[in-house]
Amino acid sequence: MIRRSILKAFALSAISLPMFLTTPAVQAQDAQTVDIGVLLSMTGSLGRGGNNVVLGMQTALEEVNALSPSRQFRLVIEDDESSPQAAMDGIRKLVDVDKVPVVLGTVGSATTIPTASYSLSKNIAHVGLTASSPDVRSLGKGYFSIIATDEVMGAALAKFAMEDTGKKKVGIIVANDAYGVGLAKRMQEAVAANGGEVVSEVRYEAGQPDYRAELQRLFSPRPEIVLAVSWGDNARLLTKQAHELGLMQTVQGAWYQPYPAEIVNACIAEACEDVKGLDIAADRGERFQQLRAALETRVGSDVVIDWFIGVGYDAVWVTALAVDLANSAEPAAISAALPKAFEIYRGVSDADMSVDADGIQRNQEYGSFVIKAGKLEPYTAN
Amino acid sequence: MNLTQILINSLVRASELGLIAMGVTLVFSLLRFANFAHGELALIGAYLAYALSAAGLDLWLAIPLGAVATGFIAVAIDKALFARVRTAPGLVLLVASMGLSLFLKNVVGAIWGTKSYSFEGSLARSFSFAGGFVTSTQVIILVVSVIAMLCFHLLLSHTRLGRAMRALADDSELARARGIRVEAIISKVWFIVGSYAALGGALIGLETVISLELGYSVILPAFAAAVLGGIGSVHGAMLGALIIGLAENIVLAIDWSFLPATSGPLYIDTGYKLAVAFLVMVAVLILRPRGLFQGTSGD
């Protein structure tokens, strides 16, 4: 009971870790080990984000285990290679072989939806990380998400772009998957609601070696604003080819992207100059400072905390808290305790992490950013 | 539809594809089998060039060195695999090449992982040209390909090796009877086609990205170009590559909204580019099985 109250107090207020480590109540006992299944893109087009998620998870794991000597948590990580097929292999391994009581993953909607369906079919709770397609709502009971879905982001990005530029003719280019198509739909609705016009909407297949045809279609009706949904290599190639074809220059400063942290490291700096977007605004409060301090110790003082790290950190914390609240490592008990854990936890991704009936975040705070000389900087809209 | 841009994109695509297609057709004309592992030689060439470049070698040295290394790898593959089943039926060779393709792709994946790579460097400069844009990289690709194809043409038509290759393609038994060292010629052919495929792969990687799917993405268009040009005809394969390049880019640029039961603009995704090459190949095989240019073995 004392141990549980410590975890709960820490989750609530982000009181500094060293204070607990010196608390007499924390004593070594016969430790129970709880495996947390993690399915992530460690390689492939989403690999960069996946590796950062793991960094956040490992940081949280150290904190949680330090506070909970009688119940130690362990991450069982599988690489989904950014591919739905490999993701299915990974989830079967976690659920059927490793028999984990809860799964955290993945970083893409296209891999999250089928793998979460599999987890839930085996009555294993599944905590989605950065999957933001509205389709995750259909997954049903036992699914929870660390971030809000694209109903929120799509509308926010379109509104932000139109207000920032004062222009109305919008071109939309998205990946032809659940994530991209879901965002495109919300963007279209928001553009219309803000008095604008979508003059072109193009869907591209992720992982292709050439997007010139798609870019030419996108720019054919001469949009004044481009809303692009891309990441990793796709983002690099799209912006590179748009720049080389002289198209990017026609909307200089008016190319907007959800989650620009997903593209900033992949892009050629010159091609992504002045690309703007909205990102999950990591809460700059106590929890964030605590994460920063832990990461500086772990990887050095020049650490750049992107939202992937925050999501991984929050996911492990909220899961450990649910296990603690349930006082059980049984899948059903964890699943039942997760809504409460989300409600009381104050996260890095968002201070208020309470979820709705579908297990999705009720609210999401976004910050606006711009890419300058290959780095992501805070941006204040015009 | 920007016709200039389509033409530029098609020429660049044809340049890259032609280097690979001529190897496909040359192997077929000499060894009488369709080498499905040919795309993987392009893959290896691209990865080697990337690795050398990432290690600090100048890009324009890394690409030819990667091509030469791939040429030697192709010779080694022939000695280790194809030479042992040289007289086996074509189906055996075909299946062997399919297995080899999977093996090579997995070896590359084991070494470099599944992530994609791009040659380092800043953006290529682009120039406005007759309403379209052409980049400095594309100009280099065009020039390198034209030079490489010209060299191959000169080798085939003006050297003893070229004459021996053509003799071997026409009738290997007769060539052997006239004192041509068949195995030595075959090794040289493997070196050449391996190097050319690697060059094609590296040029594709230079313009786009290098991924494990590179081999798969080029082998079907390369076969289509070879069939189109008349299987066995090296010059036909080059022209076939040009037609495939044009077909792919034109089909992708057409707005199909004129078709019934469509609403709004309707374009074919780039992901279906391979289907265009496949359809062209099937059409040619049905309507003109010896290819548009009536190619015969030996060229």
Q: Answer for the pair B79, B236: CB distance below 8 angstroms, yes or no.
A: no
Structure letter (DSSP) for residue B159: S
What is the rounded average pLDDT of the residues A235-247?
89
pLDDT on residue A27: 39
Domain count, chain B: 1
Across the interface, whether the CB atoms of B126 and A202 are under 8 A apart is answered no
Q: What is the pLDDT of residue B294?
A: 60
Q: What is the pLDDT of residues A35-70, one digit of tens each?
A: 999 999 888 777 778 888 999 999 999 999 999 888
The yes-or-no verdict on residue B227 having pLDDT over 80 is yes
**Single-letter amino acid code for the residue at B81:** L
Nearest CB to B208: which of A209, A214, A270? A209
- Kindly state the tokens that stand for B209: 């990205």
- Any A CB within 8 A of B246 CB: no
Query: Which residue did the predictor score with more confidence, B219 or A348?
Result: B219
Contact A60, A46 (CB under 8 A): no
Helix boundaries (H) for chain B: 3-31, 38-54, 59-80, 90-112, 136-158, 160-170, 172-177, 182-207, 214-228, 234-253, 273-287
Q: Which residues of B115-141 are buried (b: 16+ CB within 10 A; e: fewer)?
A: bbbbbeeebbebeeeeebbbbebbbeb
Interface pTM (ipTM) of the complex?
A: 0.75
Closest listed residue to residue B192, CA positions, set B64, B292, B74: B74
Residues A37, A315: Cα–Cα separation, whole Å: 11
pLDDT band, very low/low/confident/very high, at A17 (cuts 50, 70, 90)? very low
| Residues of A with Cβ-Cβ distance to B211 under 8 angstroms | 207, 209, 233
Domain-located, residue B281: no
Q: How many CA atoms lie within 13 A of B218 on its CB side?
A: 41
Please give the pLDDT value at position A301. Answer: 75
B217 contacts on A by Cβ (under 8 Å): 209
Question: CA of A274 to nearest chain B CA: how many angstroms apart?
Answer: 16
Q: How does residue A18 score in pLDDT terms, banded at 50, 70 and 90? A: very low
More confident call, A165 vs B207: A165
CA distance B269 to A177: 13
In whole angstroms, what is the distance from residue B267 CA to residue B255 CA?
5
B121: domain range?
A: 3-213
- Low-confidence winner among A315-324, B47-56, B155-164, B259-268 (lowest mean pLDDT): B259-268
The whole-number average pLDDT for the span A317-335 is 95
Check residue B18 and give its pLDDT. 93
pLDDT at A282: 58
Could you tell me if B10 lies within 8 Å of chain A, comparing CB atoms?
Answer: no
Q: What is the pLDDT of residues A124-134, one digit of tens each?
A: 999 999 888 88
Task: Give the pLDDT band (50/70/90) at residue B66.
Answer: very high
DSSP structural state of residue B121:
S
What domains, with CATH codes, occur in chain A?
2-148+283-364 (3.40.50.2300), 151-280+367-378 (3.40.50.2300)
Mean pLDDT for chain A overall: 86
Please check whether residue B289 lies inside any domain of the structure. no
Give the chain B residue nearest A271 (alpha carbons): B123
Closest to B81 measured CA to CA, from B20, B123, B31: B31
